[in-house]
Each structure stands twice: as structure tokens, then as C-alpha cells.
């Protein structure tokens, strides 16, 4: 490269400049480097692991994710000519794993305006250490997530990330995702978190059901980011420290959080009613996404 081969995309995190930045550019023979792009939060730290994801999208675009968070896009030249991947950085980077997902993105022409969920629909599976993927699950389904290593009593703080990728169906007019204790939910097992999008009232109900008490106070705040027949990603981040909290993201956007009971007792996940379950992704332990963002961004030069 830079001798007889063009570089359609150059990705270069720079630690020893002030402010730190990630330079994106391209290099073409007989023309040299193009215009640098440096916008975006610097999400790398020396000595800390990271996951860097490049998604080849339509219109010769590369979508970049750092630690499973959208970072930037880059679109300049024909990406179909790319034949090499070159990672350079003697004593500056240790490559633990390299994963290639040969899934072509849909390029069907449409007259509809793109929606905010288009990127999420075309993404490859999320990356994390110890990822478990369950595909084409039947509905209804009950997962014993404790047996999979994602719940149950623990002496140490728990932080688990579960993503449900599915498609809402026409009938009935809702679907439920429940996290509960051992036993049969709503019979002899508590429901510590009930997540129920209701298409008839265009609201997402959150609640708990406790043996001997029944349903408690509903929470309904927030919008309604679901459409019948349109695929979605719902991400649940379950934490027991510093407080018992479930954070919910829909199509990579924060939706709500929920905090009531001891989430160490969650052992099962139930999915039921009007939903086609395309995939379930489970990420255990301390997340690489725990790396905090810096509060400033680097302007484009």
C-alpha cells in the first residue's frame, strides 16, 4: 500500500496529539492523501481492550462502530476494489481477534425515505467477549439464562447485556419480554421486569409482578419506536451495581431505565405474543462498552 495499491479507507487513532483524534482518509496513486476527517469522540485508551467494527454499507459507505457504539461513516471511492486489510502499529496494538462476517447488505431500491432504524437493520451481530447467539427462536419461548451464565445469585456485581432482534406481527396487538425468577412466571415465579409494547395504544408498558401482590405501578413514559413488520433491536443492560437497574435501548437509542428489585434473582427470560424472534444476543461480564466517553469532541478541520 502507498506504493502500487490505493488505500480507499485509512483509519488512524492518534494518541500523541492534543486533542487526541481519529483520522479517516484515503490515498490514491498519483494524487496522494485526500482531506482528513477527524470528527467524533476519542474512545480509545492505552492498555484498554476495544472492539472496532467496520460495516460495508450501500453507496460505497463504511459505517464505523467503536465498542458497539456508532462512531462515524466514511464514503468516497469504490469499495468493491478492496482486496487487502492492513493493520500496522508495532508495539502500539495487540490484535486479539479478527472476525469477518460475509453477510452482504441489502441494496434493494426503494422509493421510501430511509428511517432512523436502517443502520440497525443492516448491522452484523454485535461484538463482545463471550458472545452467545440464539437464532430463529420459536414464540413463545422461555430461556433459562442462568444456565447460560447470564443471571442468578452472585456474590459479585453483575452487568449483563441482552439484545433481542425481532419483528412485530399483526395479531395480537402486543408482545412481551419478561425477566423473572425461578418457577413459572405469573404463577410461582416473580416477574422483576415486564416490557410490553402495546400497538393498540402506542405505548410501552413496564412493570413488575410479585407473588402475593400481583401487578404493581405501570410506567408508560417515552415514545413508541415500534412498527408492525419492521425489524428492531431491543437491548437490555442489566446491572446490580451501584444499584439494580435495567437500561433499555431501542435501535441503538436510549429508551428508558427501570429500577425496583434485586436483579441478582433473575434466572429466566420469557418472550411471548406477537413477535417473530430473529436472534437473541447475550454478552456476559464486564462490557467493553464500559469505557466512558470523553466530554469533548474534535472539530472537523
Tens of pLDDT, residues 202-215: 999 999 999 999 99
Tens of pLDDT, residues 57-103: 778 889 898 887 888 889 999 988 899 999 988 778 888 778 777 65
**276 and 167 inside one domain:** yes
The answer as to whether 252 is a domain residue is yes
Tens of pLDDT, residues 164-176: 999 999 776 899 9
- Enclosing domain of residue 86: 7-108
**194 and 153 inside one domain:** yes
Q: What is the mean pLDDT of the chain?
A: 82
Answer whether 197's CB lies under 8 Å from 206's CB.
Answer: no
The answer as to whether 203 is a domain residue is yes
**45 and 194 inside one domain:** no
**173 and 241 inside one domain:** yes
**284 and 141 inside one domain:** yes
**58 and 168 inside one domain:** no
Q: What is the CATH number of the domain that holds 100?
A: 2.60.120.200
The answer as to whether 265 is a domain residue is yes
**266 and 142 inside one domain:** yes
* pLDDT over 90 at 128, yes or no: no
Answer whether 26's CB lies under 8 Å from 32's CB.
Answer: no
Residue 299: its pLDDT value, please?
Answer: 33
* pLDDT over 90 at 113, yes or no: no
Number of domains in the chain: 2
Residue 34: its pLDDT value, please?
Answer: 94
Span 178-202, average pLDDT: 95
Stretch among 15-24, 235-244, 279-288 having the lowest mean pLDDT: 279-288
**102 and 131 inside one domain:** no
Residue 130: its pLDDT value, please?
Answer: 72
Number of Cβ within a 10 Å radius of residue 252:
18
Residue 40 phi, psi (nearest 5): 110, 155
| Chain centroid, CA 160 distance in Å | 13
pTM of the predicted model, to two decimals? Answer: 0.58
Residue 120: strand, helix, or coil: helix
Amino acid at each position: 500500500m502507498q506504493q502500487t495499491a490505493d488505500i480507499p479507507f485509512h483509519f488512524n487513532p492518534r494518541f500523541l496529539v492534543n486533542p487526541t483524534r481519529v483520522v479517516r482518509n484515503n490515498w490514491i496513486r498519483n494524487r496522494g492523501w485526500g482531506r482528513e476527517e477527524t470528527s467524533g469522540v476519542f474512545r480509545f485508551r492505552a492498555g484498554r481492550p476495544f472492539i472496532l467494527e467496520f460495516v460495508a454499507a450501500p453507496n460505497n459507505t463504511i459505517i464505523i462502530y467503536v465498542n458497539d457504539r456508532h462512531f462515524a461513516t466514511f464514503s468516497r471511492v469504490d469499495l468493491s476494489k478492496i482486496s487487502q486489510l492492513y493493520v500496522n502499529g508495532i508495539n502500539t496494538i495487540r490484535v486479539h481477534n479478527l472476525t469477518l462476517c460475509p453477510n452482504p447488505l441489502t441494496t434493494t431500491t426503494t422509493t421510501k425515505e430511509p428511517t432512523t432504524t436502517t443502520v440497525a437493520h443492516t448491522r452484523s451481530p454485535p461484538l463482545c467477549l463471550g458472545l452467545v447467539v440464539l437464532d430463529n427462536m420459536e414464540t413463545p419461548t422461555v430461556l433459562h439464562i442462568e444456565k447460560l451464565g447470564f443471571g442468578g445469585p452472585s456474590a459479585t456485581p453483575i452487568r449483563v447485556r441482552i439484545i433481542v432482534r425481532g419483528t412485530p406481527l399483526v395479531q395480537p396487538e402486543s408482545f412481551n419480554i419478561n425477566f423473572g425468577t425461578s418457577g413459572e412466571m405469573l404463577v410461582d415465579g416473580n416477574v422483576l421486569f415486564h416490557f410490553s409494547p402495546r400497538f393498540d395504544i402506542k405505548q410501552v408498558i413496564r412493570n413488575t409482578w410479585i407473588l402475593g401482590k400481583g401487578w404493581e405501578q405501570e410506567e408508560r413514559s417515552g415514545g413508541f419506536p415500534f412498527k408492525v413488520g419492521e425489524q428492531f433491536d431491543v437491548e437490555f443492560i442489566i446491572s446490580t451495581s451501584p444499584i439494580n437497574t435495567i437500561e433499555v435501548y431501542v435501535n441503538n437509542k436510549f429508551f428508558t431505565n427501570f429500577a425496583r428489585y434485586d436483579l441478582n434473582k433473575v434466572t429466566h427470560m420469557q418472550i411471548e405474543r406477537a413477535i417473530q424472534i430473529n436472534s437473541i444476543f447475550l454478552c456476559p461480564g464486564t462490557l467493553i462498552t464500559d469505557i466512558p466517553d470523553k466530554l469533548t469532541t474534535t472539530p472537523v478541520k
